[in-house]
């Protein structure tokens, strides 16, 4: 390429960079304070210089990314100057020579601390953990001090998802699964509804591209009729609002692609039969003190025009969600020949801003709504509890799982005898409530009165319950309490009490095990030996192991049996020649190539970056067949397993153990047999079974492994297990079966 052409390209890129930077400053203007513009310019220049020789996978200059993240922080979350500076610099410490000390010197401690929270950890992690989990854990450690760390990280993740198309397929799967597993729930908890919905849609786009395209296509095809329907639906509502004298805005929109996908999956119905595809949002411009009355007045007017479904009324104005969300939801039946369920959301301008921008918008109104602040603090305290109670025996994955369990849970609202509102996660018990009141109240709790009725500790609470705790100085927490508490706070406090009480048994147990092992000829109770014992006796950690010996739950004689089993296992392993640890996936792949490279059917799937022929098994949880989009996963004891990317276990495997995931591609020339499971539904008639078996066995020469059909009131539903060659073969069969008279639906079972 001529030098002149390169110069022109670089010049154009520089113009584009400046254009994007100016747009950022223009968007940020309403949020900036004195001196912010000067610091933002310095951050931009530092980022430009640091990333000057770097490009993204798409080939674009790297600086596009930090500018885009800063733009999302401003436009879609509503953050100010400090966050813009941090967004522009969020990758410089990790990817360039610039240090945290230099950033602190130029921009101050606050910016340096946020950048530190945003910087990924590098290094070696414990077995069973993953880098993603460690990164997430570090971000959460900074959450207590500054929530902007998480908000900027979400902006970073959103831009990465928007530009994921330029990444390799296996990277798309890993990043999408991690996003779905951690970041979408986090956006939900922080009230960032628009970002949460987009992240979920983008995850679906890359994990199940055909499903995503199909729903998007159907939404596009029905757009004109849908818009006409919405316009007719809102006419009487618009007139009613004018009659009431409200300044308002009405928006009609379809549900997100992911929420439609969820309904299709959950209800097992075709697209045409999803009735609540439509949502109408009524936004009122009224003063804060008039909000509640105005929303209920609009609800009354809407239900005068359309019949409501009383079971679908949700009042998040009287009791907002802990992420700050406030709105009044009802589902009503539209009028006309073909009635459809339509969700109507009624809220104010303030509520709408909080719903879209979450706690970043909530800061604008803080002081006005202490109840929502307390609800969020309640969740934040659960995060702190999980972080504070984690110790060296808690892996990052376990910790993240514990915190993740608090992200998507619905809340319940209960009361103390004095009328104080307490927000708990759905499924919380009387004992959870006791620990929420005070640690000592929880530890001494012997029962509770719910609505003046005596209930046990494990009683599950419901919204509106009034609870009074009963305590005794003789009561002590026990391990079985962990079986029926739901909140992180209660679990952490119970574990703390048990740990303290069990320390003596742990010390005794360790001495007993060490002494017996010496008698058996094992002089050192090393970490390796401890881990082997822990796995053998199926206990979660070393302390639990020694505690069980100390309490006598495991007898010392069992150690002799363990030693014999270990020696037998070592002899077996020596015969196999695989010496490298499983944690090193590359070494495992090399060894598998040596052992199994000559398998006749080994080239049915090509595995790894080098597309090697390796030994594998097909995962029974999703039954992949040739042609399916798949990935390989290195298991602890069963070698490489092949899963469909749409497998229900895929998000967890890809996000929690990304380091054990291998690229896998079907080789096109190999003819193999796979089991596929179909669910068939339709109207019953004479000769139906004969038609199904004739098309399957005779016309297409497909072997039926199993067939069961049930008929109820003229409707049949059945399951067929078939032996097919690949997805093309299966699709051909499905097309033929769909043509059978009376057949309504055929679904491939996961």
What amino acid positions are annotated as catalytic residues? 94-95
| Distant-in-sequence, close-in-space partners of 707: CB < 8 Å, separation ≥ 6 | 692, 693, 718, 719, 720, 721
Give the whole-angstrom CA distance, residue 295 versus residue 328.
Answer: 7
Give the whole-angstrom CA distance, residue 208 versus residue 76.
Answer: 26
| Distant-in-sequence, close-in-space partners of 600: CB < 8 Å, separation ≥ 6 | none
Give the whole-angstrom CA distance, residue 426 versus residue 727.
Answer: 41
Going by DSSP bridges, is the β-strand pair 674-683/640-644 parallel, antiparallel, or unpaired? unpaired
Give the whole-angstrom CA distance, residue 594 versus residue 601.
Answer: 15
Give the whole-angstrom CA distance, residue 475 versus residue 456.
Answer: 14
Give the whole-angstrom CA distance, residue 455 versus residue 462.
Answer: 13
State both tokens at 329.
Answer: 């939801």
Q: Which long-range contacts (CB under 8 A, 24 or more apart) does 67-70 make?
A: 67/17, 67/20, 67/21, 67/24, 68/20, 68/159, 69/152, 69/155, 69/156, 69/159, 70/24, 70/28, 70/155
Sign (positive/negative) of CA torsion 312, 316, 319, 323? Answer: positive
Of 359, 374, 399, nearest to 149 by C-alpha is 359
| Distant-in-sequence, close-in-space partners of 464: CB < 8 Å, separation ≥ 6 | 413, 414, 415
Give the whole-angstrom CA distance, residue 42 versus residue 89.
Answer: 10
What letter does residue 181 receive in the DSSP assignment?
I
CB atoms within 10 A of CB 388: 12
Residue with tokens 């296992």: 569
Of 653, 665, 749, nearest to 708 by C-alpha is 749
| Distant-in-sequence, close-in-space partners of 190: CB < 8 Å, separation ≥ 6 | 147, 150, 151, 154, 323, 358, 359
Going by DSSP bridges, is the β-strand pair 278-284/341-348 parallel, antiparallel, or unpaired? parallel
Q: Is 347 helix (H, G, I), strand (E, B) or coil?
A: strand
Give the whole-angstrom CA distance, residue 448 versus residue 453.
Answer: 8
119 with 142: CB under 8 angstroms? no
Give the whole-angstrom CA distance, residue 674 versus residue 66.
Answer: 47
């Amino acid at each position: 390429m001529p030098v002149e052409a390169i110069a022109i390209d670089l010049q154009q890129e520089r113009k584009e960079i400046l254009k994007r930077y100016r747009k950022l400053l223009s968007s940020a203007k309403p949020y900036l304070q004195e001196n912010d513009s000067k610091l933002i310019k310095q951050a931009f220049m530092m980022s430009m210089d640091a990333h000057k020789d770097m490009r993204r996978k798409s080939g674009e200059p790297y600086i596009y990314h930090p500018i885009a993240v800063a733009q999302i922080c401003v436009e879609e979350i509503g953050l100010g100057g400090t966050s813009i500076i941090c967004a522009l610099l969020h990758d410089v410490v990790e990817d360039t020579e610039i240090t945290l000390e230099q950033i602190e010197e130029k921009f101050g401690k606050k910016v340096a601390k946020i950048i530190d929270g945003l910087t990924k950890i590098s290094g070696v992690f414990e077995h069973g953990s993953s880098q993603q989990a460690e990164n997430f854990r570090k971000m959460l450690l900074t959450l207590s001090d500054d929530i902007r760390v998480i908000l900027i990280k979400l902006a970073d993740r959103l831009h990465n998802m928007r530009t994921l198309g330029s990444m390799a397929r296996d990277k798309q799967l890993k990043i999408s699964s991690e996003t779905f597993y951690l970041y979408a729930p986090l956006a939900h908890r922080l009230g960032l509804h628009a970002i949460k919905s987009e992240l979920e849609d983008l995850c679906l786009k890359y994990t199940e591209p055909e499903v995503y395209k199909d729903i998007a296509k159907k939404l596009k095809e029905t757009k004109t009729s849908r818009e006409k329907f919405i316009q007719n639906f809102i006419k009487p509502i618009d007139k009613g609002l004018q009659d009431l004298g409200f300044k308002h805005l009405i928006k009609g929109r379809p549900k997100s692609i992911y929420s439609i996908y969820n309904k299709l999956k959950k209800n097992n119905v075709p697209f045409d039969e999803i009735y609540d595809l439509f949502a109408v949002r009524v936004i009122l411009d009224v003063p804060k003190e008039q909000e509640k009355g105005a929303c209920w007045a609009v609800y009354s007017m809407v239900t005068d025009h359309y019949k409501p479904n009383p079971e679908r009324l949700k009042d998040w104005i009287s009791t907002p969600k802990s992420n700050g969300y406030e709105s009044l939801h009802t589902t009503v039946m539209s009028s006309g020949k073909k009635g459809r369920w339509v969700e109507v959301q009624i809220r104010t301008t303030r509520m709408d801003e909080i719903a879209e921008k979450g706690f970043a918008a909530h800061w604008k109104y803080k002081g006005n709504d202490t109840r929502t602040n307390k609800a969020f603090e309640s969740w934040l305290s659960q995060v702190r509890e999980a972080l504070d109670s984690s110790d060296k025996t808690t892996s990052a994955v376990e910790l993240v799982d514990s915190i993740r369990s608090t992200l998507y849970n619905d809340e319940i609202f209960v009361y103390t005898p004095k009328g104080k509102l307490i927000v708990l996660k759905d499924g919380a018990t009387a004992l959870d409530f006791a620990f929420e009141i005070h640690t000592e109240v929880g530890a001494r709790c012997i029962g509770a009165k719910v609505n003046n009725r005596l209930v046990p500790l494990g009683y599950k609470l419901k919204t509106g319950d009034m609870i009074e705790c009963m305590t005794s100085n003789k009561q002590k927490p026990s391990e079985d309490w962990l079986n029926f508490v739901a909140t992180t706070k209660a679990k952490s406090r119970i574990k703390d009490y048990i740990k303290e009480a069990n320390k003596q048994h742990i010390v005794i147990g360790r001495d007993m095990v060490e002494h017996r092992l010496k008698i058996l000829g094992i002089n050192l109770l090393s970490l390796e030996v401890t881990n082997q014992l822990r796995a053998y006796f199926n206990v979660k950690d070393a302390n639990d192991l020694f505690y069980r010996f100390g309490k006598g739950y495991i007898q010392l004689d069992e150690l002799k049996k363990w030693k014999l089993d270990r020696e037998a296992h070592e002899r077996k392993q020596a015969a196999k020649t695989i010496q490298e640890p499983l944690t090193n996936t590359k070494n495992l792949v090399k060894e598998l190539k040596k052992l199994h490279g000559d398998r006749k059917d080994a080239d049915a799937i090509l595995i790894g970056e080098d597309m090697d022929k390796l030994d594998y098994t097909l995962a029974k949880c999703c039954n992949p067949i040739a042609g399916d989009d798949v990935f390989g996963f290195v298991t602890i004891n069963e070698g490489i397993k092949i899963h469909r990317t749409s497998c229900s276990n895929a998000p967890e495997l890809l996000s929690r153990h990304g380091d054990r995931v291998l690229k896998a591609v079907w080789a096109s020339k190999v003819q193999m047999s796979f089991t596929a499971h179909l669910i068939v539904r339709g109207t019953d008639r004479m000769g139906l079974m004969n038609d199904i078996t004739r098309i399957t066995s005779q016309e297409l020469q497909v072997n039926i492994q199993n067939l069961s059909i049930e008929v109820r009131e003229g409707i049949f539903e059945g399951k067929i297990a078939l032996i097919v060659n690949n997805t093309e073969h299966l699709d051909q069969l499905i097309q033929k079966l769909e043509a059978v008279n009376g057949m309504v639906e055929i679904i491939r079972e996961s």
